[in-house]
């Protein structure tokens, strides 16, 4: 579950989409592992048998991790890249890299891609098409990494309480 309240997020569908993105990016086994703090402490390259985490929410960990053939600074529940963090931290006046800040960052990404209103309206497939350029694990992503099917994403969304129209 995201740490932001349903009201502050903009509705249950937004919270369900945050859960869906985390499920897709991190996976259910890592999300369920207490060491991950619901995914908020996860570094890229984590596997269920070896969850890589950072120790402080004071700021983005800026840890460059070799993950297969990829080198990435992705961290947190929404696998936020360090290159993007300083700008959004300032824009949103985020005090740290804690769970609420990560949730607010992800919601801002949904807004900027024109997906927020689609998610609120239950237009799930259209919303995924708008945000698959940010999150590499989403169906339709062109990042060349493993992607989850639309059926699996829809199930993760509805399992989290989302409603598709």
Q: Where are the domains of the chain?
A: 6-159
Q: What is the pLDDT of residues 92-105, one digit of tens each?
A: 999 999 999 999 99
How many Cβ atoms sit within 10 Å of the Cβ of residue 92? 13
Please give the CATH number for the structural domain made up of 6-159. Answer: 1.10.530.10
Residue 43 has pLDDT above 80, yes or no: yes
Of 19, 25, 38, 103, the catalytic one is 25
Q: What is the pLDDT of residues 49-101, one digit of tens each?
A: 999 999 999 999 999 888 677 789 999 999 999 999 999 999 999 999 999 99
Query: Is 112 considered catalytic here?
Result: no
Q: Is the pTM of this model over 0.85?
A: yes
DSSP 103-143: HHHHHHHHHHTT-HHHHHTT-HHHHHHHHTTT-TTSTT--S
Torsion sign over Cα 3, 4, 6, 7: positive
Give first-to-last CA distance, the chain, whole Å. Answer: 22
């Amino acid at each position: 579950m995201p740490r932001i309240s349903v009201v502050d997020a903009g509705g249950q569908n937004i919270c369900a989409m945050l859960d869906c993105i985390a499920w897709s990016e991190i996976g259910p086994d890592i999300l369920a592992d207490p060491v991950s703090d619901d995914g908020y402490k996860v570094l890229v390259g984590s596997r269920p048998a070896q969850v890589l985490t950072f120790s402080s929410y004071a700021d983005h960990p800026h840890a460059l991790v070799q993950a297969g053939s990829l080198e990435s600074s992705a961290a947190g529940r929404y696998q936020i890249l360090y290159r993007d963090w300083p700008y959004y931290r300032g824009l949103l006046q985020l005090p740290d890299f804690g769970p609420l800040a990560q949730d607010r960052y992800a919601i801002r990404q949904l807004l900027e891609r024109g997906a927020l209103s689609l998610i609120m309206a239950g237009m799930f497939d259209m919303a995924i098409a708008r945000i698959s350029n940010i999150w590499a694990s989403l169906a339709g992503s062109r990042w060349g990494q493993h992607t989850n099917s639309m059926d699996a994403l829809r199930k993760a969304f509805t399992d989290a309480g989302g409603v598709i129209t």
